[in-house]
A and B are shown apart, each in its own frame.
Chain A
Amino acid sequence: MMHNIDERQQALLLNEKSIKKRKISTGIQYTLAILVTIFMLFPLYWMLISSVKSQEEILRALPTFWPHEWHFENYKNVLQRANFSKYYYNTVVMTAGILISQVVTGVLAAYGFSKGKFKAQKFLFLLVLGALMIPLQVTFIPLYIMFANWKLTDTFLGLILPEMVSPYFIFMMRQAFLTVDDSYIEAAKLDGMGRLGIITKVLVPMCKSTLITITLVTFTNGWNSYFWPKIIAKNEVRRVLTVGLVHLRNTFAGLDTMNNHEIMAGAVLSILPVIILFFIFQKYMLTGYEKTAMK
């Protein structure tokens, strides 16, 4: 009996010790996590406050960590004088074009490759997967020549065409459709639904979260694209935000620090829609990559 109590006391003591230990380690973890977060957010913070500083303030030898005066006209200058409003329009149209066509062709093809039945299906699907291994960085030369011949430089069509079909979209959507049991489709067929009905009323609603996730990936990829727009739409008329921002920087490159406040305002403007989407659809945007990773 004595022995038993002794053991219990010892256990209690150990427990107290371990609780204390755990508290300390929790404290350390919190501190480290906050430090890491501040470190990672600093570039964004610096961009934001630089974007509202005056030219004089941004060039001070002693940098200010909080703007003395707020100059929101930097944004107006960028939108009007640097023509970012035009770039915005171009980016919106290009992204919308890419988004709509990738969703339509992607969902259709995903249906065909998951629930359809036709000759050489496996082989054709391998062709789709094979396209994943051929980056634009390899094919852009003939594409550029082709598009120049078709007079598609500096046009929306030129910006959108090479991005109209995404093998990644088809692949991910097909994986999702495969998880839907065939009995649902048979039931829909008995109800007299055609293929389009089955896709829009059965498959898509059942795979909504996958569709949202991949569509968000498509949107950000389109909005942030740089390589192809830089090649095909160099000139002002169809220049997009990413290219326009770098152009704004390069026009002042010789002057180095001259207009960094305006460049930062341009940077904020060009990432704003994606950031807003990120906070609205956080759930989907955070799991998007994990889903592909778990595959």
Chain B
Amino acid sequence: MKQRIPIQRRIRAGKDFATVLPALLFLGLFVYYPVVQVVRISFTNWNLINDNYSYVGLKNWVWLFQGSGTKYLINSFKVTALFTLGELSITIIGGMIFAVILNRITTSFSVMRALIFLPKYIAMSSAAVVFIWILNTQNGILNFLLAQFGKAPVNWLGDKNRALFSILMLTGWRTVGYGMMIYIAAMRGISKNYYEAASIDGATKWQQFTQITIPILSPTTLFLFVTTFISAMKVFQSVDVMTAGGPYRSTEVIVYMIYKYAMEDFRMDRASTIAVVFFLVLLAITAATMKISNKRVNYDA
């Protein structure tokens, strides 16, 4: 009797473990193992053109940090940072403005909100080809509309000072509705009492907005900031479809740089090195944002 219980318990634990085993095996094989591999490849001279490879020590790392790769890495981080900043501003500021405009509980407003949120679900590649057509220099509708105000045609995607901005238009179109939905959900949770008390004290609508709404929404803003930050760092699709990193590397974000070295130049060694750097940066950002948000949560509680 005494021995049967542990055995039964062990069988039960084994069966419970079996339910998580498939997931763990897959994550091990297709997520964790490749991370180890990508670090390993960064110390080799692996390219897909030769069959063999050998370990070359820090050669790729020297290339990336003290060689001809350095300026491209710096460029890519700069472009990615600019893009991230742009997407953050559109999602947070634009989302907040849209939320204020669309926060009303009627059927027509909920239909409008759904339509504004819809672009989030449109495949990036489809949205990108639509924007390429809208931004077309000769026949694009945007340049046509601008011409009505006497503006000369703008080369939206071919001008190195504008291309990133054009990509941000597309990105912003897809994410601003997301920011709006998140803000509206949070605004609904704010007690009416705050506003009533404030208006009795004679606070204007604007004062109420800046002194009640925005501070109360700061955890929501932080949430949007963190999630948007991480996803913006990983941008690839819009760049790949709209500009392919050009013109003159002006839109070559970090993931596009990795992709180009790996899939176009077949330099798996160099691409892996950049990928490892990118991974470390992502981890650092995640850790930093987690620390900030933990502090914030405690502070509020």
Q: Name A's B-contacting residues (CB within 8 A).
A: 29, 32-34, 36-37, 40-41, 43-44, 46-47, 50, 58-59, 62-63, 105-106, 108-109, 111-113, 115-119, 124, 127-128, 131, 133-135, 137-146, 161-162, 164-165, 167, 170, 195, 220, 223-224, 226-227, 230-231, 241-243, 245-246, 249, 256-257, 260, 263-264, 266-267, 270-271, 274-275, 278, 282, 285-286, 289-290, 293-294
Least Cβ–Cβ distance between B301 and chain A, in angstroms: 16
A36–B104 alpha-carbon span in the complex (Å): 14
- What would 7 A/B residue contacts be, using CB atoms closer than 8 Å? A36-B112, A37-B112, A108-B19, A133-B283, A138-B278, A139-B30, A170-B23
Q: Which residues of A contact B271 (CB under 8 A)?
A: 141
Q: Which residues of A contact B141 (CB under 8 A)?
A: 46, 63
Q: Which residues of B contact A144 (CB under 8 A)?
A: 262-263
Verify if B209 is at the interface (C-beta below 8 Å from A). Answer: no
Question: Across the interface, do A135 and B282 meet the contact criterion of CB distance under 8 Å?
Answer: yes
Given the known A-B contacts A108-B22, A167-B27, A293-B220, are A285 and B121 also in contact in the complex, defined by CB atoms under 8 Å?
yes
Question: Across the interface, do A142 and B130 meet the contact criterion of CB distance under 8 Å?
Answer: no
Question: Across the interface, do A137 and B236 meet the contact criterion of CB distance under 8 Å?
Answer: yes
Q: Which residues of B contact A43 (CB under 8 A)?
A: 119, 127, 130-131, 134, 173
Question: Apart from A116-B19, A135-B234, what 14 extra A-B contacts exist at CB < 8 Å?
Answer: A29-B101, A43-B131, A116-B16, A128-B27, A137-B278, A140-B262, A142-B272, A146-B37, A161-B30, A165-B22, A263-B129, A290-B181, A293-B185, A293-B220
A17–B293 alpha-carbon span in the complex (Å): 45
Q: Which residues of A contact B121 (CB under 8 A)?
A: 220, 224, 274-275, 278, 285
The closest CB in chain A to the CB of B104 belongs to: A29
Question: Across the interface, do B27 and A267 meet the contact criterion of CB distance under 8 Å?
Answer: no
Q: Which residues of B contact A142 (CB under 8 A)?
A: 33-34, 37-38, 41, 272
Least Cβ–Cβ distance between B186 and chain A, in angstroms: 8
Q: Which residues of B contact A119 (CB under 8 A)?
A: 13, 17
Question: Across the interface, do A256 and B136 meet the contact criterion of CB distance under 8 Å?
Answer: yes
Least Cβ–Cβ distance between A110 and chain B, in angstroms: 9
A106–B261 alpha-carbon span in the complex (Å): 34
Given the known A-B contacts A162-B30, A278-B118, are A33 and B102 also in contact in the complex, defined by CB atoms under 8 Å?
yes
A138–B281 alpha-carbon span in the complex (Å): 11
Q: Which residues of A contact B126 (CB under 8 A)?
A: 47, 242, 245, 267, 270-271
**What mask results when residues 1 to 34 of chain B are scored 1 for a CB within 8 Å of chain A, else 0?**
0000000000011111111101110110011111
| Interchain residue pairs A-B with the least CB separation, the first 3 | A116-B16, A142-B37, A112-B19
Question: Across the interface, do B236 and A46 meet the contact criterion of CB distance under 8 Å?
Answer: no
List residues of B (99-121) whose CB comes within 8 Å of A's CBs. Answer: 101-102, 104, 109, 112-121
Question: Across the interface, do A270 and B114 meet the contact criterion of CB distance under 8 Å?
Answer: no
Q: Which residues of B contact A285 (CB under 8 A)?
A: 121
Least Cβ–Cβ distance between A254 and chain B, in angstroms: 14
Verify if B70 is at the interface (C-beta below 8 Å from A). Answer: no
Question: Across the interface, do A113 and B20 meet the contact criterion of CB distance under 8 Å?
Answer: yes
Contact of B286 among A32, A133, A227, A241 (CB under 8 A): A133
Contact of B13 among A111, A118, A224, A245 (CB under 8 A): A118
Verify if B223 is at the interface (C-beta below 8 Å from A). Answer: yes
Q: Which residues of A contact B43 (CB under 8 A)?
A: none
List residues of B (182-221) whose CB comes within 8 Å of A's CBs. Answer: 182, 185-186, 220
Q: Which residues of B contact A264 (CB under 8 A)?
A: 129-130, 133
Q: Majority SS of interface residues in chain B?
A: helix
Contact of A118 among B14, B104, B240 (CB under 8 A): B14
Q: Which residues of B contact A293 (CB under 8 A)?
A: 182, 185-186, 220, 223-224
A164–B26 alpha-carbon span in the complex (Å): 8
Question: Across the interface, do A165 and B23 meet the contact criterion of CB distance under 8 Å?
Answer: yes
Q: Which residues of B contact A226 (CB under 8 A)?
A: 123-125, 237, 240
A194–B177 alpha-carbon span in the complex (Å): 44
Question: Number of B residues contacting the other chain (C-beta, 8 Å)?
Answer: 87
Question: Across the interface, do B282 and A40 meet the contact criterion of CB distance under 8 Å?
Answer: no
Question: Across the interface, do A165 and B26 meet the contact criterion of CB distance under 8 Å?
Answer: yes
Least Cβ–Cβ distance between A283 and chain B, in angstroms: 10
Least Cβ–Cβ distance between B270 and chain A, in angstroms: 10
Question: Across the interface, do A59 and B139 meet the contact criterion of CB distance under 8 Å?
Answer: yes
**What mask results when residues 256 to 280 of chain B are scored 1 for a CB within 8 Å of chain A, else 0?**
0010001100001001100110110
Verify if B161 is at the interface (C-beta below 8 Å from A). Answer: no
Least Cβ–Cβ distance between A220 and chain B, in angstroms: 6
Verify if B98 is at the interface (C-beta below 8 Å from A). Answer: yes
Least Cβ–Cβ distance between B86 and chain A, in angstroms: 18
Contact of B125 among A137, A195, A270 (CB under 8 A): A270
The closest CB in chain B to the CB of A120 belongs to: B17
Given the known A-B contacts A134-B31, A138-B275, A274-B122, are A289 and B181 also in contact in the complex, defined by CB atoms under 8 Å?
yes
A115–B255 alpha-carbon span in the complex (Å): 39
Verify if B241 is at the interface (C-beta below 8 Å from A). Answer: yes
Q: Which residues of B contact A223 (CB under 8 A)?
A: 123
A145–B17 alpha-carbon span in the complex (Å): 31
A46–B24 alpha-carbon span in the complex (Å): 46
Question: Across the interface, do A270 and B131 meet the contact criterion of CB distance under 8 Å?
Answer: no
Least Cβ–Cβ distance between B88 and chain A, in angstroms: 16
Question: Across the interface, do B27 and A34 meet the contact criterion of CB distance under 8 Å?
Answer: no
Question: Across the interface, do B34 and A109 meet the contact criterion of CB distance under 8 Å?
Answer: no
A282–B120 alpha-carbon span in the complex (Å): 13
Least Cβ–Cβ distance between A267 and chain B, in angstroms: 4
A106–B19 alpha-carbon span in the complex (Å): 9
List residues of B (24-56) whose CB comes within 8 Å of A's CBs. Answer: 24, 26-27, 30-35, 37-38, 41, 48
